[in-house]
Amino acid sequence: MKALIFRALGKFIIWLFGWKVDQHLKSDFRRCVVVAAPHTSNWDFVIARAAFEVMEIPVRFTIKKEWTTGPIGWLLIALGAIGIDRKQKDSQLQPISYVEAMVNLFHNNEELAVLVTPEGSRKRVEHWKTGFYHIAKQANVPIAFGYMDYKTKVAGIGKVIWPSEDMEADMKEVMRFYKGIHPKFPELFSIDTRY
């Protein structure tokens, strides 16, 4: 019942704001890291979440575990949040990294499409965080290029790649794709200038 309500709400939001959905990622595709870019506005989450409902992909996103309690936490979980325990330890009782925590999520879930915002901020950054790439590589899952183009009003998945042995070449491919995407606030967006 909850899934049907969210799907209807997603379709309504897409229709209300005049967007279209790029359904490049098939609905039976259930294990991937989804790059969420450009990220220059809080509206990005609303449009992206609605687009994934239209595509019938149960996309998830990560937040600090502390945010998953109480009424706000329950709402975030309903919207797809996964609480990450940053104090989690490995076998030598050392804190594990965010990448390790995410890889563990993939090892423990048969179906997991998780949004990652490599810009890490709605402010302009010229060096993206590359954790999404390392997560996909270590978890042996593909990287889906999620996007919202405010000029064409199209949101969805534009491309899917598997990480290769050449990270630089793969990152250049990521940047070539996002170079042509129009964010809500262009002055706040940059592709990674290293690639």
Structural domain boundaries in the chain: 2-188
For residue 11, CA distances in Å to 16, 49, 54, 150 come to 8, 10, 6, 17
Residues sharing a CB contact under 8 Å with residue 151, sequence separation 6 or more, in sequence order: 182
Q: Please give the model's pTM, rounded to 2 decimal places.
A: 0.86
pLDDT at 110: 85
75-88 pLDDT, tens per residue? Answer: 777 777 777 776 66
SS3 177: helix
* Alpha helices in 140-183, H assignment, sequence order: 167-179
Give which of 169, 100, 30, 65 is closest to 73, Cα–Cα. Answer: 65
pLDDT at 37: 93
Q: What is the pLDDT of residues 41-85, one digit of tens each?
A: 989 989 998 998 898 888 887 877 777 788 887 777 777 777 777
Q: Which residues contact 160 (CB under 8 A, 6 or more apart)?
A: 24, 25, 29, 32, 142, 143, 144, 145
The pLDDT > 90 percentage for the chain reads 51
Rounded to the nearest 10°, the torsion over CA 190, 192, 193, 195 is -140
